[in-house]
Amino acid sequence: MRFGVLGPLVAEDARGDVGLNGPRHRAVLARLLIARGRVVPVERLVDDLWERPPEGAVGAVQTFVGALRRALEPDRAPREPARLLVTVDRGYALRADSVDAWDFEAAVTTARELVDAHRADAALSQVDTALALWRGPAYAGFADEGWARGEVSRLTELRLLAEELRAEALLALGRAAEAIPELESRVRENPLRENGSRLLALALYRSGRQSDALAVLRTTRALLADELGLDPGAGLRDLEAGILAQAPRLAPPVPKIAERPLIGRAAELARLDEAATRSRLVLISGDAGVGKTALAEAFSARLAAQGWATAWGSNPDDEGLPPAYAWSRILTTLADAGYGAAPTASPVTGDPMTARRRWHRAVASSLAGAAPLLLVLDDLHWAGEETLALLTSVLAEPVLIVATYRGSDPSARLTEFLGRAARVEPTRIYLGGLPETDVAGLVRVTTGEEIDPETAAAIHRRSGGNAFFVRELARLLASEGPAALDAVPPGVRDVVRHRVEALPDTAREVVRRAAVIGTDVDLRLLEALSGKTALDATEIAVQHGFLTETGPHRFRFSHALVRDTLYHDLSRSRCAREHGRIAEALESLRPDDVDALAHHYVLSEEHAGRAAHYAKAAAEKAESRFAQAEAARLWDAALTAYDRSGATDAAERLELIMGKARASAVSGGLGQSRRHRAEALELAEKLDDPLLTARVIGAFDIPAIWTESDDPALASRIAAAVERTLAALPEERTAERCRLLATLAVELRNAGGRRAREAAREAETLARRLDDPALLAFALNARFLQSFDRAGLASRRAGIGAELVDLASRHRLVTFEVLGHLVLVQAKSALADFAAADRHAESADELGEKYGLPLVAVFTRWYRAMRTATTGPGGEAAYRAAAAGLAGTAMSGVDNGILALALFCDRIQRGLPREATEESYGAYESWCRPVHPIPDSPRDLLYEARTCLHAVVAIETGDRTLMDRLYAELLPAAEEIAGAGSGMLTLRPVARYLGDLATALGRHDAAAAHYRQAHAIAVEAGSPHWG
């Protein structure tokens, strides 16, 4: 389900627009979207919907919610819990995964980074994509509502920033004139926005309109003085001074002339240089598009620079051209360069062969006067008989000839020529695909884009290093983004289709069937499908360059793009039928190849039972090799096929649901994962089988790093089910009991109290007794989440993290190894050991990147934002960039006011006034905008931070009883930094706040000791501004 708020409110699913009822229904949906997954109490909804709530307002809200649920989840069964618009305590939350405003915010953040990195082309593309998401004013229809004003204002400001970023990108590209019309419009609408005026003035100046530029600056100066009583900022003042002084720094960037250097062919160029001194003929062969012509062009340019005469003759694929067309072009070129008139063929009056030889000698002798001379005959595979005959005659002359041709399936006349040419011992150069290391360079010279190694590897894999294919993919990447790399560029598609039509019928049929099999083709499988003629047809495909032989009975498509073109040109019905036939043949040939069997059976859209069986086996195999995104896809395919098969085994279906939930969580689909867990739990309890329920609950042993639940309602349901199952479970089922106890502690997190702590301790004891590494890792996770019963336990958590890293690395428990590193990032940060925290963040990133765990980077980005904040200015921008990464993660327990809290703490740790400037602080409202009495902090990762904020208020109000209690609670954490143990935000050292409390309580010696300790921690942390 995708929601649109950048314009009128819309909701869309796979079937199209979702019909939303009246204005109140739409208002409820809009209000929940603004909450970004956080719970909105029903009383708050009532106050937001009505200025004077009528009788029965709560019931009306419930009616609106019910109608929205039916619209948003039309396929949900009557008693099935809602998965999207959920009830939590006395409120509602919308578990949205896709919202255009979130995509817009992320795209603007990326564009800003690209501008800062001087990648203006990419920034312009990114910001244009972002602005295209707008369909009108944000939250149109609700902009005047008090609950919407803050978010509307924020998004509107972000849109203005995006438009200014677009102007910056255009200016950086030397396209100042294009930026002017839009900037003029924006400055009229926002005349006091100094950056808009600055950009407009700069664009005008760079377009040769100096007086207009100065007029903009003077108008802005006057408006600021008249309306605000302010002088212009430094940016406007510097620009005005620069314009008046004609400062060189304001000159437009000089557009770079697009150079097309030859990429990745240094060795081949060296061989050509050598050939120029000892050969008469160089033959360059290779597949279509591999770069034969580019190599010949580069060599020709090099010799021309050395004083050689050069002439070029192409052989177009056009039978309507005159004979020896390529030679006509060469002779005309030489004549135009002053090397004498081109010889003409005399009228044939006698023996035609004699006349032909006479003309050939005339051509050859005319070339002698241009020495040193290089002739290039391009596309020799299309050359006619006369062109090749004349070339044979010229080989005797002191002329260097470079000829390019396709090595696959040469014509009979080209084969005959190559045999004759062997007598002159030509230099032969075969061009294969570019190596992966050269792909990024070719992309750069094609589009100006810089790409990372992963993208280069993807392009190389898709193109086989073929230069033409790489350039086409580069253009597709530049215009449509990384997701487009899975498509086939139109230019490639046309070339492949043209070549396929030239194949014999049997070869065409086999190569299309091979495309359905995949990139790698087993001859035995082809023979099982097409008979013994498959080998002959396959060899024809090899001769034509479609396939290459990689070993006995093994073939591969020469380029993935060729295979994709062939595959996508088949109808869906033909594809499905071929996949079914392939799957049945594979069962006999390779019954253990579950990946291939799952692939073909699922795509056959038939044999649903076998599709479910093999997809499940392939999903388990993918999980075993830590390919979690692939596992999630396969579990989904298995579940879909199982439901389509008509089978009714509830236990089997439960296993499929939990597999999908588990893999989705690890691969980043937390919202989807929670929905599947809820569905599986409800189904398991209906079966009244404690062992089965225990297995279902225990199957979700996904590591958890944050101490607030993303879905408290579901967590409570699971905890209640755990308690019921523990009571019914036979005493001897120790492993199941251990996993259930750990699950209880993990689910309850910071709301579990004594029961959750006891469950974690018992789970750890049982796991150590059982000597089960995976079970112990999960129990250690539970113990970590319940290690917040008092302040100052960072050292204990560091021990848990170290044991997790050691245990998980020895037993290849990758997700728990990542958890261990993240726990150490938090604990070492609390202890001011940022060097160690940096190392663990780097290790976590490496594992996340290697094994495709996207949520790892969310936490490490926040950690690095916190590190930026500890070292001085820049924290706000870093925090906002990190917060953009939370959009769409469905981690509402984390994204519950965390950005607002981080910015609030950042002001305090930098010594600025404690001002609550954000509209909402979510779960942290009571500590940032306190209303007495302030509640005690939950015992979690932010316990020390909240308690220090509480202490600041207690000191301000002079509440000695409260100060005395908070002092005692914080004292065990005297060696830690407040908040840094979260790995996401920071205040100052706890000792600083203890010193303030001790001073207020009259304990001056203790205060002095605390201040000394705080200073030492500040020095160790590299944070001199903490004083």
Over residues 998-1027, the pLDDT tens digits come to 999 999 999 999 999 999 999 999 998 897
Return the minimum-mean-pLDDT range out of 479-493, 543-557, 647-661, 893-907: 479-493
Return the minimum-mean-pLDDT range out of 111-125, 235-249, 900-914, 995-1009: 111-125
Over residues 691-728, the pLDDT tens digits come to 989 988 888 888 999 999 988 988 999 999 999 999 99
Domain ranges of the chain: 1-173, 175-252, 266-433, 441-549, 572-667, 806-1026
Helices 990-1000, 960-970: crossing angle, 10 deg rounding: 150
Q: Which two tokens stand for residue 103?
A: 């995509």
Asked if domains 175-252 and 266-433 share a fold, the reply is: no
Residue 226: DSSP 8-state: I
pLDDT at 480 over 50: yes
Residue 361: what residue type?
Answer: R
Sign of CA dihedral 364, 365, 366, 370: positive
Over residues 828-885, the pLDDT tens digits come to 999 999 999 999 999 999 998 888 788 899 999 999 999 999 987 788 989 998 998 8
Q: Reply yes or no: is the peptide bond before residue 372 cis, omega within 30 of 0.
A: yes
Return the minimum-mean-pLDDT range out of 44-53, 490-499, 746-755, 938-947: 490-499
CB burial of residue 346 (10 Å; 0-12, 13-18, 19+): exposed
Looking at domain 1-173, its CATH architecture is Orthogonal Bundle (1.10)
Query: How does 417-440 read in b/e, with b if 16+ C-beta sit within 10 Å?
Result: bbeebeeeebbbbebebbeeebbb
Q: Which among 173, 344, 141, 340 is positioned nearest to 253, based on CA atoms?
A: 173
Over residues 597-638, the pLDDT tens digits come to 999 999 998 899 999 999 999 999 888 766 677 888 899 999
Residue 399: DSSP 8-state: -
Helices 690-698, 650-666: crossing angle, 10 deg rounding: 20
Alpha-carbon distances, residue 978 vs 297, 893, 983 (angstroms): 65, 20, 11
Over residues 151-169, the pLDDT tens digits come to 888 899 889 989 999 999 8
The CATH classification of domain 266-433, taken from the options 3.40.50.720, 2.60.290.11, 3.40.50.300, 3.90.1150.10: 3.40.50.300
pLDDT, residue 680, reads 86
pLDDT at 346 over 80: no
User: Once rounded to an integer, what is the mean pLDDT over residues 652-660?
Assistant: 89
Query: How does 817-855 read in b/e, with b if 16+ C-beta sit within 10 Å?
Result: bbbbbbbbbbbbbbbbbbebbbebbebbbebbeebbbbb
* DSSP-assigned letters across all residues of 485-528: GGS--HHHHHHHHHHHHTS-HHHHHHHHHHHHH-SEEEHHHHHH
pLDDT, residue 564, reads 78
pLDDT tier, 256 (very low <50, low <70, confident <90, very high otherwise): very low
User: Once rounded to an integer, what is the mean pLDDT over residues 913-923?
Assistant: 87
Q: Which fold has domain 175-252?
A: 1.25.40
pLDDT tier, 427 (very low <50, low <70, confident <90, very high otherwise): very high
pLDDT, residue 258, reads 37
- Which residue(s) pair with 285 in the sheet? 405, 430
Distance CA 362, CA 169 (A): 59
Over residues 789-840, the pLDDT tens digits come to 999 999 999 999 999 999 999 998 999 999 999 999 999 999 999 999 999 9
- Residue 960's SS3 state is helix
pLDDT, residue 257, reads 35
Q: Which among 851, 968, 985 is positioned nearest to 909, based on CA atoms?
A: 985
User: Once rounded to an integer, what is the mean pLDDT over residues 46-74?
Assistant: 86
Return the minimum-mean-pLDDT range out of 402-411, 772-781, 787-796, 990-999: 402-411
Integer-rounded Cα Rg, in Å, for the chain is 36
Q: Which among 1024, 1016, 968, 1020 is positioned nearest to 994, based on CA atoms?
A: 968
List alpha helices for 831-942, DSSP H.
Answer: 834-851, 855-870, 875-884, 898-909, 925-928
pLDDT at 200 over 80: yes
User: Once rounded to an integer, what is the mean pLDDT over residues 20-32?
Assistant: 85
Instruction: Report yes or no: 781 and 742 within 8 Å, Cβ to Cβ.
Output: yes
Helices 773-785, 814-830: crossing angle, 10 deg rounding: 30
pLDDT, residue 491, reads 66
Instruction: Report yes or no: 367 and 391 within 8 Å, Cβ to Cβ.
Output: no
pLDDT tier, 420 (very low <50, low <70, confident <90, very high otherwise): confident
pLDDT tier, 478 (very low <50, low <70, confident <90, very high otherwise): confident
pLDDT tier, 351 (very low <50, low <70, confident <90, very high otherwise): low
What percentage of the chain reaches a pLDDT higher than 90?
41
Three-state SS letters, 9-68: CEEEECCEECCCCCHHHHHHHHHHHHCCCCCEEHHHHHHHHCCCCCCCHHHHHHHHHHHH
Distance CA 111, CA 105 (A): 10
Instruction: Report yes or no: 414 and 346 within 8 Å, Cβ to Cβ.
Output: no
pLDDT, residue 766, reads 96
User: Once rounded to an integer, what is the mean pLDDT over residues 306-322?
Assistant: 73
Chain position carrying tokens 């047809």: 537
Instruction: Report yes or no: 390 and 328 within 8 Å, Cβ to Cβ.
Output: no
pLDDT, residue 412, reads 80
Over residues 948-977, the pLDDT tens digits come to 999 999 999 999 999 999 999 999 999 999
Alpha-carbon distances, residue 546 vs 429, 435, 574, 649, 853 (angstroms): 21, 20, 21, 46, 36
Distance CA 618, CA 603 (A): 14
Residue 867 phi, psi dihedral angles, 5° rounding:
-65, -40
User: Once rounded to an integer, what is the mean pLDDT over residues 303-319?
Assistant: 79
**pTM of the predicted model over 0.85:** no
Alpha-carbon distances, residue 703 vs 717, 743, 802, 990 (angstroms): 19, 10, 15, 29
User: Once rounded to an integer, what is the mean pLDDT over residues 518-522?
Assistant: 86
